[in-house]
């Protein structure tokens, strides 16, 4: 006969989420994926905002990661500290991206645009 301990509870299964809710979240994620694909095909240079494509794609990716973390990883129903760590990590990634963009904007004016004779001349100078 197996030994049973009345103080040990292995019958906890975590938070139960209705299947309809998970299907709704999945549909939302698929819609946001379609938005990302649509944004990648749209030419924002027509409205003089060339960087808008990457900004929109990063925003949609952040929203999707947050939805996955909150609902599929059950962070919405977990301890608040775990959610704080999740949000903090997203903010640190955003901070690192901003720092990298700041660094790249410092040398943007020195970049020679396009495949012109100046580019070929500069590449030849680098080879020697």
Q: Kindly report the pTM of this predicted structure.
A: 0.59
pLDDT at site 25 = 92
Same domain, residue pair 71 and 27: yes
Looking at the fold, whether 114 and 87 belong to one and the same domain comes out as yes
Q: What is the pLDDT of residue 111?
A: 65
- Shared-domain flag, residues 35 and 57: yes
| pLDDT at site 4 | 55
In this structure, the answer to whether residues 92 and 54 fall within a common structural domain is: no
Q: Does residue 20 or residue 11 have the better pLDDT?
A: 20
Residue 70 domain boundaries: 15-78
| Total domains in the fold of the chain | 2
For residue 3, tell me if it sits in a domain: no
Sequential DSSP letters for 66-120: HHIIIIIS-GGGS-HHHHHHHHHHHHHHHHHHHHHHHHHHHSGGGSPPSS-HHHH
* Together in a domain, 51 and 95: no
Let me know if residue 111 belongs to a domain.
yes
Q: Is the pLDDT of residue 84 over 70?
A: yes
Chain segment 28-78, per-residue pLDDT in tens: 999 999 988 888 887 777 777 777 777 888 888 888 988 888 888 888 888
Residues 43 and 86 in one domain: no
Tell me, yes or no, whether 40 and 73 share the same domain: yes
28 part of a folded domain: yes
Tell me: do 49 and 69 sit in the same domain: yes
Judged by DSSP in three states, 9 sits in coil
Residues 23 and 47 placed together within one structural domain of the fold: yes
Helix axes 52-67, 19-41, angle to 10 degrees: 170
In this predicted structure, what is the pLDDT of residue 20? 93
Same-domain status, 36 and 69: yes
Domain for residue 36, yes or no? yes
pLDDT at residue 5, rounded to an integer: 54
Would you state the pLDDT for residue 7?
59
101 or 29: which leads in pLDDT: 29
* Residues 105-121 pLDDT 10s: 666 666 656 666 777 77
């Amino acid at each position: 006969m197996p030994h049973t301990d009345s103080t040990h509870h292995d019958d906890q299964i975590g938070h139960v989420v209705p299947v309809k809710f998970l299907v709704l979240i999945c549909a939302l994620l698929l819609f946001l994926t379609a938005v990302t694909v649509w944004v990648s095909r749209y030419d924002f240079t027509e409205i003089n905002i060339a960087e808008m494509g990457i900004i929109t794609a990063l925003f949609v990716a952040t929203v999707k990661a947050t939805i996955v973390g909150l609902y599929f990883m059950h962070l919405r129903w977990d301890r608040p500290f775990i959610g704080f760590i999740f949000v903090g990590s997203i903010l640190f990634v955003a901070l690192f991206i901003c720092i990298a963009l700041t660094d790249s904007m410092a040398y943007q004016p020195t970049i020679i645009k396009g495949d012109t004779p100046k580019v070929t001349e500069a590449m030849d100078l680098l080879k020697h």
